[in-house]
Every structure is written in C-alpha cells, then in structure tokens.
Structure 1
C-alpha cells in the first residue's frame, strides 16, 4: 500500500497541517497519551492501549521516534530492558491532549460510560486542575488506582500536590509524607472526578487520613469545577 502523502507535499505550509502529518494517524495520539506520565515498556503500552496490535504499535513507535517525539532508552541493570519515553519536545503534546479533551467533553457522542486507564483518569484531572482552596500549606494525597478494565491489573500510585498556587498529579511509586491516601478502581475514581458522583455513594473507594484534603483534591480537579458533597468519612 502506498504511503500517505503529507500535507506539505501539496504545498501546504500550515503548522497545524504538519502536526497532523506527525500525530494524525490512528492510535498515534493514544500512544503519546500513555507516555505523558513517564516512560513505559512496549508490553506496558500494548497492555494499556486496548485494541492496538503489536505490528501497529511497532509502526507507531517507529514513526514517533523518526519524528523525534519519542525516544527509546535502555534501563540500567540486568535484563536489558528498553523503555519508550517522550522527548522534551514530545512532552509538549500534553497541552494538545488537554485541549482535545476540553473540546471533546462537549460532544453529545462522547462514550461517557466507557472505562479509562489509571493514567488517563489522572491526565483528565491534570487537564482540569485548579489551585486549591483551604490551608496555605501544601497538601498531599497518595492516589492508588487499579485499572477496572482488567482483572489482573496491578495498582498504580500517583502523588497529588495541592496549594493556593496550583494542583499537580504525577506518577510516584513511593510517595513521601501524605495527608491522605485514596485507593480506588479507575472506574470509581472517574465517576467521582468526571461524573461528579459524591464519594459517599462510591463505597468501594477507600479513604484514609484527612477526608477534608481528599475533598479539596476532588474540588480542585473535578470536571465540573463545582464541589461535590462533603465526605462523612472520619479522618
């Protein structure tokens, strides 16, 4: 099959058109999305991007490497394990992913009942993150999410930091001191921060530590931007 011609080959000098030449193929931005929170092995990407075959993933990673959006790095130690990670320029695509997400939530055809991977839920939180109200000191929440799409999924841990200046959420295998810890499936946590379902209606979400701080995190990252009802959980 002949290769798809680029927009530039039609004498189109638009930068947006060139961006589509780089990331417009099916699955490309989904692969990028799965690398926005840090490097992953080939098998990790294939596991997290449901529906992509190994041949297609190999081609998309090759194309992204050729375009200097992704780079491959060999981890130190035994096993000679390679991981794929975004380049400094590639990480700039989080702004693109955020803009697409903010635009698409208005679509009447958005599959709102479909599940998300833990990374995708966290990226949605980052897309809507706002400065947190309350104490002037930084507050921290360990967020432990399990992929609800797979029965064999292992929990993934993130660290949310909140202040009056900003709210950030990053992948963090071993968070340091935290004010609260939340354990949930990606489906339940999505229902809370994207679907605005109050935590007390999601009994499978386990909260320990300061319930007030967890509520502040929800208020600072919820899609609606409106506080959900207060937690009744004891801190």
Structure 2
C-alpha cells in the first residue's frame, strides 16, 4: 500500500515541491544560490541516497518543462544584439575546443582507446545554460556585460557541441568524417538560431502587442500568456528537431 502511494504522480509532485522549498531554505542558510540548495537536497532524496524519488519519465518530463519555461522567461531579458557578438563566438569556440582536447588527452593518458577518449572530450564540451542563467538571475546580474557574454557564448556553445558530437559519431561508426552531413547540420543549426532570433525579435512582439488590443484578450487576459507559452514550446520543439537543446529554442 505504501509503495503504491509513493509511486503515484501526486506524491512525487508534492514531494518534489517540498524538496524544492527545502532547497531554498538550505541555500539561505549557507548563503548560496537556490540552485545549489536544490541540487544538494535532490541528491539526498533521489536514487543516490534515500531513493524517495526515482527518475521516471514523469520526472524527466517535468525537468524538461521547467528548463524550457526558465529559459523562456530569461530570454525576455535579452535582445538579439546581446548575443550576436563575435567575441561571444570566440569564447564559445575556446570553451568547446579546450575541454575537448583536454578531455581527449587526459583519457589517452589513462590508457583509453582513441574513440573512448574522443567521446570523453565531447562530454566535457557540454554546458548547463539553465543553471548558469538561473544563478545570474538570482544575483540580479543578467544585464551585466559579463552575463551577456556567458549566456551568448552558452547558446553558441550548444550548437558547437552538436557539431563535435556529430564528428565523434561519424568517427566511431565509420572511421571517416561525412563532411557533407556535418555541413548540412551546421547550416541547419545556425540557420534555426538566426531565423528564430530574427522572427522572435521582429514579428512576435508586434503580434503580441496587437493581440493585447483585441476583444478576446480583453475578455480573457490569459490568452496572451497561453499564446506566448505555445510559441516557447514550438521553438523548443523546432530546436530539438534540428538537433540542438530545446532550452536554446525557448530562450530564442
């Protein structure tokens, strides 16, 4: 009976929210970001220690939804010119190349084979834009130049990491690079980022402003919010379709 109760979505959801509140309290006590407190408490109640919460499809989906909504909200704080900067491209490139090569060399030093070493280097190129953005938001630093550099580089880094992963997959599968396939993927990924950012900057705000004055919005004010969330999840879906992270699409 108890096991059936603890496995229900209702119990998992209520426990997750309770744990999240505990994370906030812990973070306040240790004078750290709420993200740190949530991660620490999550480790305790998760499968690693107590096992009160198991990593089910529901938890995975909930985490994805939370990340998408978080980056969607943070995207309101930025404009296209805030991330369209060649300096951020350089930062992102260094942030991918250095961990990739460093991870590869370290793995080779530990006696791993070439393909394993390449994949370890690839794993080290990944960034966590959601955690970074949330910490910067809590600190009230999102509008600082260094924050724009971090977020802008992280968006570009996600695309570059996709390219690195594709290269590794080709090498492990065939031992050769499919140049045409990689070029197509690069065009597709950067094309989505550019087109998505331009459409989001030029047309969607005008559409939302127009909707604000319509009769249906005056009667149902939540209509604009629902429409905005629809756009966020549509962008997230398109981002995953081209192979990049859904949260990058929501951010755009």
Structure holding more helix per residue: 2
Structure label with greater radius of gyration? 2
Same fold (TM > 0.5):
no
| Greater RCO (Cα-Cα under 8 Å, separation 6 or more) | 2
